[in-house]
Amino acid sequence: MAQLPPAGPPPAGQPVTTQAPATGWEAPYDANLGPAPGVRFASPGARLGGYIVDVVILFVVMVIVFAIAGVVGVGAAATDSGLLQGTAIIVGVLALLVYILWTLLYFPYFWSRGGQTPGMRMAHVKVVRDVDGGPITMGPAFLRLVGYWVNGLTFYIGFIWILVDKRRRGWHDLIAGTCVIEA
C-alpha cells in the first residue's frame, strides 16, 4: 500500500510540489480541434475548393489584363508609326508587370486582411496563427506564399501533407506558423 505524505507543511529546506491527482483516463485527442476552444480545423476538401476558386479568379484577371493589352497592341501595330508600335510593347510589358504584381499580392493581401481570400470566404475557411488562432500579418502571409512555391517545386507534397498532419497543416502552414480553421 502506498504511503501518504505527512500532513502539514513540508520540513524546512524541502521544495513544495503540487501535482494534480492522476485521473486514470484522459479524453482521446480530437484531430479536428483547432488552436482555441471551439475552433475546428478546416477540411482538406474545403481548403481545396477555396484554392480552386482563387486560381479561377487569378486566371480571369490574367485573361482580362492581357486581352486589354492585346487590343491596345493590335491597334498600335496596325498603324505605320514606329512610336505607336513602341507603345504597344510598353503596354504589353506593363500588362505583364501588373499581372505579376497581382499574383504576388493576391494571397498575402487577403490573408493579412481578415484571413480569407474570396475563395476561402466561399469555402468558409480562414487562415490564422497556429499558436493562438489570432490574425496573421503581412510577414507570415508572404512566408505562406513562399511555402506555396516550395510545395509546387516538390511535386505538391507540401499540399498533400495536409492529409498527414494531425493539425491539417501543409508545408506552407508549417513555414509560416499558420493553420486553416473553419470560419
Kindly state whether residue 63 falls inside one of the protein's structural domains: yes
Kindly state whether residue 107 falls inside one of the protein's structural domains: yes
pLDDT bucket at 60, cuts 50 / 70 / 90: very high
Q: pLDDT tens, 100-109?
A: 999 999 999 9
Kindly state whether residue 4 falls inside one of the protein's structural domains: no
Kindly state whether residue 7 falls inside one of the protein's structural domains: no
Kindly state whether residue 36 falls inside one of the protein's structural domains: no
Instruction: Give residue 140's domain range.
Output: 44-182
Q: Are 42 and 180 in contact (CB under 8 A)?
A: yes
Kindly state whether residue 75 falls inside one of the protein's structural domains: yes
Closest to 39 (Cα-Cα) out of 137, 117, 120, 129: 129
| Minimum mean pLDDT range among 2-6, 57-61, 138-142 | 2-6
Number of domains in the chain: 1
Kindly state whether residue 67 falls inside one of the protein's structural domains: yes
Kindly state whether residue 21 falls inside one of the protein's structural domains: no
Closest to 58 (Cα-Cα) out of 125, 107, 19: 107
